[in-house]
Structure 1
Amino acid sequence: MVASDDAELTRAPDTHRLEWPSFDPVRVGMPELCRAGLSENWLLKACGHRHWLALAAAHGMVRPEFHGSLGERLYPAFVAVDVKGLGAGLDSVGEHDRLDFALCLERVGRTRFHSRITVSAQGVAIAQVEMTTAFVHRAVPGMNRSATRAMVARPCRLLPAPGHRPPPFRPDTWDTIAGFARRERAELADLVLDPAPHEDFNGAEFLYFSAFQAMLDRAEWQWCRQTAPLFVTHRRHIFYLGNAELGDKVKVTLCGIRKHAGIHSHWVEMRRNSDNAMIGVAFTQRKHFTLS
């Protein structure tokens, strides 16, 4: 699908949002699956790509190539992602199922946009993915740490959405999220990972947002494989606070863990090894997956 293809686009009359009832559906095969049903990592990439194309449509562009007022290349950097299992969940998806992506895009600030994507398999909703991005550019060419916010020079079709939006996540001011209280932070376990250029960095040379989810899964596998070898995501919040350079290792720290009513929850922080700067925080709720 081309970003500006209005054949699939339903524009809301209030000009505050754009909606697609089915944005580029997919027939499930091995690339979309993992050992526990639909791959969450693939799902994030698929939804992120559609979010990017929707941003292009919001700016009246056929190709998602964004530039600032000085001609500098801009990229929609992820600020937050919220994955929520619906109905039978991600583990209900199997080979040959049809996936549909119902997408609603809103503008929630000068540079921030929010999408809500309801994912259905065979016509039944199995997940909702909410994504917030902000346009950024590198203040220092080639340095990911220098990414700073900027506005797209081309006018946007969307007006800022009315109503209250929660403020961006701040690592030093939040109180309680997903049953975890900031004052109860501990350091229960950690793992140092070395992001690889062929797997974890994208074509814009940033550490890709889905790589954060992959690092969470790798760490969880190391920490929990003896007692609970396989999980499927019930809910996951990831907040993105920074990026990393190629060659910069990432320390993943388990700050809290809870088990209640069959749900295994954990709170994880991700920091650059080079300067200990926090680049991500995640709160995850997982349920056990039974091997067939």
Structure 2
Amino acid sequence: MSKISVELPGLKLKNPVMPASGTFGFGDVPACKKFDLNELGALVIKTTTSKATTGNPQPQIAVLNDGVLNSVGLTNPGVDAVINDKLKPLREQYPELPIMASVGGDTMADYVLVAQKLAAANLVNALEINVSCPNVAQGGMSFGVHPEVVEELTRQIKEAVSLPIYVKLTPNVTDIVAIAQAAERGGADGISMINTLLGMEIDVTTRRPVLGHNVGGLSGEAVKAVAVRMVYQVHQATNLPIIGMGGIASPEDVAEFMLAGASAVAVGSAHFHDELASLHIAQGLPTLLAKMGVSDINDLVGQVKLN
């Protein structure tokens, strides 16, 4: 039987598959009741902010032929409620499950505060820093588009907490490598990539966009080739472990991301077609590795053979 366990900073994963932030809520969506979450490599919870937020106008989600557009926004009850009402019961039920919390904010101080509270609660194993949030201090452009902002934000959070931190990169930039290197300089322990690509879909009968917010984040099969290319580039240019995501729907997709340079993966949009997609993908890995003649999944990382 091939080895499928993976070790990352702060995370001992029995397999490299986890649901991406937002797809399994706080471990409280209906799918979570249908299987033992311990069968996942880890669980990444929905992005948490300092205060409760309600998100964007409806409709917030449009399922397309080759992906999903969403403008949910960072709907969450605020960090104190997340810790007390969501994470405590989740950790009680799953004492061994690696849990990664996702941190968002409007300002650097917001991020640091949320990170500190989550770390102090002692309920999660690592933090994912969602730098796709709008930076209110700089006119609403995402934190993640400025290398110097990413470096400073990463450094401030690292100084404030002892938990490993993974910076989640937005693909809506000209050069993703520059952003990844900035996170590395700031002291990040790892990279999560990619977040959604900004997209828009218009209904020609109403002439209106299909999302209430007009534009939203595109995920799923449509973005996979972009995600694989970006993972490959960042793996070549940094020494940080990468959690890859963007259109993963099969064990073969996991292998592809790992060959490009990811050490683990997160699954999002595939859950719209199969609510237990993460579980089914993980279960299919040993068979695929046997077919590939691979005895340890970690041997795939970065081993793409270029033409």
The structure that is strand-richer by fraction is 1
Same fold (TM over 0.5): no
TM-score normalised according to structure 2 size: 0.28
Bigger radius of gyration: 1
